[in-house]
Chains A and B, each alone.
Chain A
Amino acid sequence: MAVSDTTTAPMNHRRPSNARSILALTGPAYLWLVVTVLLPLAAMFYFSFLSDVPLAARDWHATLANYAAFFQQDFYRTLMWRSLRLGFEVALWCFVIGFPCAYVLAKTIKGRWREALFLMVIIPFWSNALIRVFSWTMVLRGNGILERFLDWLIPGFGSLDLMFTYAAVVIGLVHSYLPYMILTCYISLSTIDDDLIDAARSMGASRLTVLRRIILPLSMPGIVAGAVLIFVPVIGSFMEPRILGGREGTFLGTVIEDQFTAVFNWPLGAALSFILLACVMIIFAIFQPILRRAS
């Protein structure tokens, strides 16, 4: 990025004046982030080592029991594993559905249509996630729209029983995050030069070879970025499983939410959150090089 010399201050005062300007311009924003993100996370870390919520009326002392609980109780690990699996599956489905879509948008449609269609795909992502998940209950419920439609299409189709299943949670989440994958893949794909593909084709490479040897490797940064950015929020999701999952809707996220809104075991909730956060960090660390290339 260009370093410009446009400050009106005289040369000899430039450095301190710059420092002051930088502080004045960035200070408020970062102070805000410190108060609303950094300090809360620090407080959460502190809470996770306490035996009870540190309020005047309560007895509390430092303990490792909250973390120990995670390792002693099998079901916490099962739930962690389930949450990770959910994140992985949702990211995978988003890729399977989203990548071809991004490809079509980037490579086969041109002009104003492309812009309009692209917008149509992206916009749901920014609209209200809660409402979109809720809207699936209208579609999936027993004897709902989907079953009626399938029954009309194939008479005697019977019942799908999709509502309140793991599959319903996956569908709702894929719907929520698919535009993300399309967006990141689209950005990567549009940087690939069409001539490169044409050249490979003219030299006799099959479509599949082109896809495997040129398109997929070159769009990898977008795919990975999309996958990571989907994976992370999904493993912390609680609202989607609560609305769509029914009996199969217990995940680490819902258990954490319970600790805060129902059970009032904030320390345990904090410890579980930190374990979840550790997973997020590990994922980011692993994919950091590719993510940096993608940005």
Chain B
Amino acid sequence: MKARPINVLARVYLGLVLAFLYVPILVMAAMSFNASQFYMLPIDWSFDWYVKLASNARLLEATRNSIVVALVTTAIASVLGTAASIAFFRYDFRFKKVLQAALFPPIAIPWLITGTAMLMFFFWSGIGRGLHAMILGHVALALPYVIIVVSARIKGFDPDLESAARSLGASPWQVVRHVTLPYLAPGFIAGALFAFAVSFDQFVISYFLSVPGVSTLPVEIYTAIKKGFTPEINAISTLVIAFSITLLVIVSRFYRFGGDR
């Protein structure tokens, strides 16, 4: 049914879209190797900015914070999210629909609104801002993703496997350990990686919840863009985006974006 010219056209089009998506990132990466502070062309290749980056205590501290927040967020969100997914799978109950719908707001409300609301509430209630507040916020954003991803995996689980194991004399713990968990593992890992990616890249919530001296990498990058930046920012951005993309390629091993194919 497909005439060749159409096919070629389709591929060219796809190539253009991919170029649109990736060229800016590549340009930014190229500029991080440009010695000129004002991004003058042609590029004067050098590693200066990466060397400078290695001694930029502020950015390194922010990187450390980003990783800590993302790790704690991942731990909390994947445990809480997996527990909730199991409940949704195992049981039918009156408020299930409502609870499932309640996962929507953190994703659907613009982050500007959730972020400023958290700022006001945390500041006013004495919870305060800082890394702990960011973790509170990031978990809320990551939870829906974890539940969606884990639920997608759990849906294919056959409960008969558990009863079969039990009828063969396995203790409840053994059932969980040898049957349920191994089955859930890929979903759990994908959910956890998702949570990590959501938290590591989160900017808006962190921005409103950061306090002087305690910020994450995206917040530092934004502050630098607004208050005066150097190509060190390109260098760190290049590293961050390379890291994110690697992480997501790994996620894709465990979770099929876009459902079954």
Residue of B nearest to A228 (CB): B108
Question: Which of A62-70, A120-128, A156-164, A211-219 contacts the other chain?
Answer: A120-128
> For residue A167, which residues in chain B have a CB less than 8 angstroms away from its CB?
none
**Would A44 and B120 be within 8 Å (CB), given that A101-B14, A119-B252, A273-B112 are in contact?**
yes
Q: Does A52 interact with chain B (Cβ within 8 Å)?
A: no
Interface residues in A260-283 (C-beta closer than 8 Å to B):
260-261, 266, 269-270, 273, 276-277, 280
A65 → chain B closest CB, angstroms: 18
A271 → chain B closest CB, angstroms: 11
- What is the interface of chain B, defined by CB distance below 8 A to chain A? 1-2, 6-7, 10-11, 13-14, 17-18, 20-25, 27-28, 31, 39, 41, 76, 80-81, 83-84, 86-93, 99, 102-103, 105-106, 108-114, 116-122, 124-125, 136-137, 139-140, 143, 147, 155, 159, 162-163, 166, 172, 197, 200-201, 203-204, 208, 218, 221-222, 225-226, 233-234, 237, 240-241, 244-245, 248-249, 251-252, 257-259, 261
Q: Is the CB of B112 within 8 A of A238?
A: yes
> For residue A187, which residues in chain B have a CB less than 8 angstroms away from its CB?
258-259
> For residue B27, which residues in chain A have a CB less than 8 angstroms away from its CB?
135, 138-139, 145
Q: Is the CB of B106 within 8 A of A33?
A: yes
A39 to B105, CA, bound (A): 13
Q: Does A129 interact with chain B (Cβ within 8 Å)?
A: yes
**Would A134 and B137 be within 8 Å (CB), given that A1-B88, A2-B159 are in contact?**
no
Q: Does A104 interact with chain B (Cβ within 8 Å)?
A: yes
For the complex with contacts A39-B125, A144-B41, 15 further pairs of A-B residues with Cβ separation under 8 Å are A18-B91, A33-B103, A39-B121, A43-B117, A44-B113, A101-B17, A104-B14, A129-B203, A130-B218, A139-B24, A197-B1, A233-B110, A236-B111, A236-B113, A239-B204
Q: Is the CB of A26 within 8 A of B112?
A: no
A24 to B113, CA, bound (A): 30
Interface residues in A23-45 (C-beta closer than 8 Å to B):
24-26, 28-30, 32-33, 35-37, 39-41, 43-44
Residue of A nearest to B42 (CB): A148
- What is the interface of chain A, defined by CB distance below 8 A to chain B? 1-4, 6-8, 18-19, 21-22, 24-26, 28-30, 32-33, 35-37, 39-41, 43-44, 47, 54-55, 97-98, 100-101, 104-105, 108-109, 114-115, 117-124, 126-132, 134-139, 141, 143-145, 148, 175, 178-179, 182-183, 186-187, 190, 197-198, 201, 229, 232-233, 235-239, 242-243, 253, 256-257, 260-261, 266, 269-270, 273, 276-277, 280, 284
Q: Is the CB of B221 within 8 A of A131?
A: yes
Q: Is the CB of B83 within 8 A of A256?
A: no
**Chain B facing A: main interface SS:** helix
Q: Is the CB of B124 within 8 A of A54?
A: yes
Q: Is the CB of B99 within 8 A of A129?
A: no
Q: Is the CB of B258 within 8 A of A138?
A: no
Q: Is the CB of A120 within 8 A of B121?
A: no
> For residue B81, which residues in chain A have a CB less than 8 angstroms away from its CB?
29
> For residue B112, which residues in chain A have a CB less than 8 angstroms away from its CB?
236-238, 253, 256-257, 273, 276
Q: Is the CB of A22 within 8 A of B258?
A: no
Q: Is the CB of A108 within 8 A of B7?
A: yes
**Would A243 and B225 be within 8 Å (CB), given that A6-B163, A43-B125 are in contact?**
yes
A42 → chain B closest CB, angstroms: 8
> For residue B203, which residues in chain A have a CB less than 8 angstroms away from its CB?
128-130, 239
Q: Is the CB of B258 within 8 A of A183?
A: yes
A250 → chain B closest CB, angstroms: 15
Q: Is the CB of A138 within 8 A of B28?
A: yes
Residue of B nearest to A202 (CB): B1
**Would A4 and B118 be within 8 Å (CB), given that A32-B80, A123-B249, A273-B112 are in contact?**
no
Q: Is the CB of B245 within 8 A of A127?
A: yes
A12 → chain B closest CB, angstroms: 17
Q: Which of B17, B87, B93, B197 has the most CB of A within 10 A?
A: B17
Q: Is the CB of B1 within 8 A of A134?
A: no
A179 to B114, CA, bound (A): 23
**Would A3 and B92 be within 8 Å (CB), given that A187-B258, A273-B113 are in contact?**
yes
* Sample (12) of A-B pairs whose CB atoms are under 8 Å apart: A4-B159, A6-B90, A32-B136, A32-B139, A44-B121, A97-B17, A108-B2, A124-B245, A126-B251, A132-B241, A260-B208, A270-B117
Q: Is the CB of B258 within 8 A of A242?
A: no
Q: Give the 3 A-B residue pairs with the shortest CB-CB distance, closest first.
A: A236-B110, A25-B87, A40-B117
A260 to B208, CA, bound (A): 8
A37 to B13, CA, bound (A): 41
> For residue A30, which residues in chain B have a CB less than 8 angstroms away from its CB?
84, 99, 102
Q: Is the CB of A131 within 8 A of B28?
A: yes
**Would A1 and B21 be within 8 Å (CB), given that A126-B197, A126-B244, A183-B257 are in contact?**
no
Q: Is the CB of B117 within 8 A of A44?
A: yes
